[in-house]
């Protein structure tokens, strides 16, 4: 459709220079394939829209280049254009089949380097479905960029330092039977305090399992709320960590890696992979955080408050803050998260200056503007943030530290066991591979279908629905296409170029082909706004049209051989586009469901 629009645009441009032609699609296919609203033109040209439409029609009919235009209709200020159907269908199908897996890509990446940072969950527990939204959106963006030809490196920022992780470590030490006296003797927070590492032999950490972390984390947070001593112990741990206590450092790293391994195993099941794990603590050990602090000091905007904390004055950036400061250190000059984040982000920018994306929850919106301002002060162009809203529960918000969450893993397990049951119901057998693909497909679709900035209320029933607009519906449609080819016993011997597409005259066939042809523009708009839901919605629309076609237009039992071949080509093209969408969403095809 794009190429037709372009040609029409060129043709009209010579007749109407300096006016922009806007194209839309008529609400009903019987009204045409392309439409030009003439109202804005009417205003600039000071003529009736209907007259303008007639004029445009005149120009179009006289241009031999526009032979593909079958007819035009003037409809209340809109000029509706009908494309020659056999030509249209042929163009669509041959384009899809010749480009195959690359169909829909405009290769805008051209091997340029890109970094996408996503997930970056605190390594304190198994991820809940809210965190999963970050990973799924991020992963889809990665897939879109790769589809467009970018050389993408996926980064995960491991927040392995800070109060919450120290809290978890403390909880782990207590849980693993670490003697309390050793902990209390550390309260002074002085370097050289007695050993309370958990990774050396004999003391706990090793036997802490990923599955236990959430309980430990919840328990210690509860305890801390009652006992102020806990916080003091936490700060001593942090002090020791920042000041190079290698055993403490080892304890942190062991615990954090237990968590990261557990988390990435879960995400890997969903097809989400990371290229680089960046450890936040390294920015302290390597001295980069300190170096950045020094750079900021050079700008003259770093101020020390009466308590001794260092904060960046951001008043010139007019951020909607109560006080325009970004606090970078505690009063003991240990770093706060923003400082480490700035140092880290600078690394990423140096590595991929042109395409640098970070996926962040909406709670980070203002914070990220502060980071961007700090980077700007240092002459760095901040990454492009992609924000998303939180997943809520019917009973309220999710909070890891309170323990009222739906874990992604539980969601995945429920979905897979439901898929297993459904398969047994239909085929009376077990098929673990298909069950996983179906269950995980349902999980991904359920999370990706809503636009990023919309709150999602998680509800088990609808999240686990395998009917209607769902992942399994998509896979089912594809399985049906595959099934037709399996039964046909022949793989398209005919050259798609030589098929007579004029036999595809049913409106359902033409609509299906046109829907398939809308894929490239869906990719463009998904990428433009970093919105996976556009792809999700698009592929659902395509499979929906296929289902209708499937019921009305028999392929294998078509009235004639010509029609049969043409329909086979059509569904082969549809299959290709569905597969390309699956590649973008990370949903696996299933042959037999």
Find the distance separating the first CA and the last CA of the chain, reported in whole Å: 34
In 3D space, the residue among 209, 272, 157 whose CA is nearest the CA of residue 586 turns out to be: 272
What is the rounded distance in angstroms from the CA atom of residue 534 to the CA atom of residue 451? Answer: 8
User: What 3-state DSSP class applies to 456?
Assistant: strand
Binding status of residue 249 toward RNA by CB under 7 A: no
Rule CB under 7 A: say whether 455 interacts with RNA. Answer: yes
Of the pair 96, 121, the CB lying nearest RNA is at 121
- Our finding on whether 225 is near RNA (CB under 7 A) is no
Nearer to RNA, 152 or 464 (CB): 464
| Of the candidate residues 280, 282, 409, 588, the single one contacting RNA (CB under 7 A) | 280
DSSP per position, 86-128: HHHHHHHHHHHHHHGGGTT---TTTT-EEEEE-----TTSPPB
Name the segment binding RNA (CB under 7 A); options: 217-225, 392-400, 489-497, 498-506.
392-400
Q: Which of the residues 176 through 195 are near RNA (CB under 7 A)?
A: none
Contact residue for RNA among 14, 17, 18, 28 (CB under 7 A): 28
Can residue 553 be called a binding residue for RNA (CB under 7 A)? yes
Using CB under 7 A, pick the residue from 18, 226, 307, 395 that binds RNA.
307
Of the pair 186, 311, the CB lying nearest RNA is at 311
Residue 484 beta carbon to RNA: minimum distance, rounded to whole angstroms: 4
Euclidean distance between CA atoms 567 and 571, whole angstroms: 6
For residues 15 and 321, which CB has a smaller minimum distance to RNA in the complex?
Answer: 321
What part of residues 112-131 is at the interface with RNA (CB under 7 A)? Answer: 122
Q: How far is CA 238 from the centre of its chain?
A: 34
Task: By CB under 7 A, name the one of 537, 574, 579, 584 that touches RNA.
Answer: 537
Note whether 150 binds RNA by CB under 7 A: no
User: Binding RNA by CB under 7 A: which of 219, 378, 392, 502?
Assistant: 392
Per-residue contact flags (x/-) with RNA for residues 413 to 432, judged by CB under 7 A: ------x--xx--x------
Cβ atoms of 166 and 230 within 8 Å: the answer is: no
Q: Which of residues 77-96 bind RNA (CB under 7 A)?
A: 77-78, 80
The Cα 547–Cα 478 span in angstroms is 10
CA distance 398 to 334: 30
> Cα(542)–Cα(98) distance, rounded to whole angstroms?
20
**Residue (17 or 489) nearer to RNA, CB:** 489
Binding of RNA by 465 (CB under 7 A) = yes
What CA–CA distance (Å, rounded) separates 133 from 56?
Answer: 47
Query: Among 57, 69, 372, 593, which residue interacts with RNA (rule: CB under 7 A)?
Result: 593
Tokens matching residue 68: 């593909």
Answer for which of 533, 566, 577, 580 binds RNA (CB under 7 A) is 533
Q: Which is nearer to RNA, 116 or 326 (CB)?
A: 326
Question: Does residue 36 contact residue 23 with C-beta atoms inside 8 Å?
Answer: yes
Q: Is 556 in the site for RNA (CB under 7 A)?
A: yes
Complex with RNA: residue 114 or 406, whichever CB lies closer: 406
**Are 92 and 105 within 8 A, CB to CB?**
no
- Residue 210, judged by CB atoms within 10 A of its CB (0-12, 13-18, 19+), counts as middle
**385 binding RNA? (CB under 7 A):** no
Write out the H or E segment, with its range, that includes residue 276: strand 276-279
Residues 6+ apart with CB under 8 A from 215: none
Stretch that binds RNA, among 105-113, 191-199, 283-291, 468-476 (CB under 7 A): 468-476
């Amino acid at each position: 459709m794009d190429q037709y629009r372009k040609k029409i645009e060129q043709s009209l441009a010579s007749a109407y220079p300096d006016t922009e032609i806007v194209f839309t699609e008529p609400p009903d296919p019987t009204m045409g394939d392309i439409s030009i609203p003439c109202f804005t033109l009417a205003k600039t040209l000071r003529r009736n829209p209907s007259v303008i439409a007639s004029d445009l029609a005149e120009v179009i009919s006289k241009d031999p280049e526009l032979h593909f235009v079958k007819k035009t209709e003037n409809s209340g200020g809109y000029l509706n254009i009908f494309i020659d159907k056999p030509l249209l269908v042929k163009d669509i199908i041959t384009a899809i089949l010749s480009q195959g897996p690359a169909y829909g890509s405009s290769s805008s990446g051209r091997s340029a380097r890109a970094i996408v940072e996503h997930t970056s969950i605190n390594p304190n527990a198994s991820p809940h479905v809210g965190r999963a939204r970050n990973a799924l959106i991020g992963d889809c963006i990665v897939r879109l960029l790769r589809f467009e030809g970018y050389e993408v490196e996926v980064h995960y920022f491991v927040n392995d330092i800070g109060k919450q992780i120290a809290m978890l470590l403390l909880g782990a030490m207590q849980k693993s039977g670490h003697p309390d006296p050793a902990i209390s003797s550390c309260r002074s927070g002085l370097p050289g305090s007695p050993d309370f590492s958990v990774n050396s032999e004999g003391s706990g950490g090793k036997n802490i399992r990923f599955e236990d972390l959430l309980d430990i984390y919840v328990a210690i947070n509860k305890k801390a709320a009652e006992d102020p001593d806990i916080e003091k112990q936490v700060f001593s741990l942090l002090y020791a960590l920042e000041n190079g206590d290698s055993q403490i450092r080892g304890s942190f790293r062991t615990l954090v890696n237990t968590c990261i391994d557990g988390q990435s195993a879960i995400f890997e099941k969903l097809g989400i992979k990371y290229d680089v794990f960046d450890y936040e603590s390294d920015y302290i050990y390597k001295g980069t955080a300190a170096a950045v602090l020094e750079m900021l000091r050079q700008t003259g905007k770093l101020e020390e408050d009466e308590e001794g904390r260092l904060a960046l004055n951001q008043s010139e950036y007019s951020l909607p803050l109560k006080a325009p400061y970004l606090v970078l250190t505690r009063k003991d000059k240990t770093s706060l998260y923003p400082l480490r984040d700035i140092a880290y982000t600078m690394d990423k920018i140096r590595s991929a200056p042109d395409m640098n994306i970070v996926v962040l929850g909406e709670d980070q919106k203002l914070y990220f503007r502060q980071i961007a301002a700090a980077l700007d002060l240092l002459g760095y162009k901040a990454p492009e943030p992609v924000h998303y809203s939180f997943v809520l529960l019917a009973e309220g918000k999710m909070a890891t530290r309170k323990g009222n969450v739906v874990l992604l893993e539980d969601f995945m397990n429920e979905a897979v066991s439901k898929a297993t049951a459904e398969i047994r119901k239909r085929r009376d057998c077990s098929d673990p591979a298909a069950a996983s693909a179906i269950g995980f497909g349902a999980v991904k679709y359920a999370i990706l279908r809503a636009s990023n900035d919309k709150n999602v209320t998680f509800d088990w029933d609808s999240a686990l629905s395998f009917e209607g607009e769902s992942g399994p519906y998509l896979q089912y449609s594809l399985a049906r296409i595959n099934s037709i080819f399996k039964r046909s016993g022949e793989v398209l011997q005919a050259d798609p170029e030589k098929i007579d597409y004029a036999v595809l005259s049913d409106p359902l066939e033409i609509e299906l082909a046109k829907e398939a042809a809308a894929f490239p523009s869906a990719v463009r708009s998904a990428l433009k706004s970093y919105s996976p839901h556009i792809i999700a919605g698009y592929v659902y629309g395509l499979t929906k049209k296929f289902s209708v076609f499937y019921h009305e237009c028999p392929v294998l039992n078509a009235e004639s051989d010509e029609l049969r071949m043409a329909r086979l080509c059509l569904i082969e093209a549809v299959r290709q586009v569905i597969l390309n969408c699956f590649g973008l969403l990370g949903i696996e095809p299933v042959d037999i469901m």
